[in-house]
Amino acid sequence: MKTDGTHLPAAAPITVRALAVEGAHVFTPRVHHDERGIFTSPLQGEEFARAVGHPLPVAQTNHNRSARGVLRGVHFTTTPPGQAKYVHCARGRAQDFVVDLRLGSPTFGAWDTVAMDTVSFRSVYLPVGVGHAFVALEDDTVMSYLVSSPYRPGLEQSLDPFDAELALPWPEDLALTLSERDTRAVTLAEARARGLLPRYEDCLKVTAGYA
């Protein structure tokens, strides 16, 4: 908090950057500090809609807590109905990944990564059909999700996070821990051959319903 009587121009309430995956964005909110601690707003609806072109429909909120080295993903939801996600780190630190799994997308197979923590409070928006993964970099890392559709176990899909075709740059200095589901997940090529991957046009149709 400034106490010398001077005034600085107000920073933007939230800044937005497009990621390498078409339609995915990272949002960085302004963080207010004073003697009590901090206050920030990871999601700001008007700014989100202005950047993305539609509001964020929220059907459910999720959160998970992970030990250092826990790797979750690459996860996606069968489309339709599909699922969009808005994710931020509420405690600890994580390296977050978005992967374009949408057949026909101009960035199919591309990925991007964002460092997430409780200093910047960056949030990542993943459109319908985009895969999500992260690795916890500290014990007790908490990831918080807003999602556009309720959890339906039969629609949840997983890809091998170590698939050479994806070539995601996981930290080499961590002993990584995966669930049995993620350990046994199929590769991108196998998912494509089995018809598991979402089609870009179907993802756009679902997203059009958010407007």
Among the listed residues 25, 75, 88, 132, the single catalytic one is 75
Q: How far apart are CA 196 and CA 30, in angstroms?
A: 39
The helix/strand/coil state of 180 is helix
Phi and psi at 183, nearest 5°, equal -65, -35
Among the listed residues 25, 32, 86, 145, the single catalytic one is 145
Residues in Cβ contact with 77 at an 8 Å cutoff, skipping those fewer than 6 apart: 83, 128, 149, 152, 155, 156, 157
Phi and psi at 104, nearest 5°, equal 95, -5
Q: How far apart are CA 15 and CA 157, in angstroms?
A: 31
Q: How far apart are CA 185 and CA 74, in angstroms?
A: 9
Q: Which residues pair with 115 in a beta bridge?
A: 95
**Residue 145 bears catalytic tag:** yes
**Residue 63 bears catalytic tag:** no
Active site residues: 75, 145
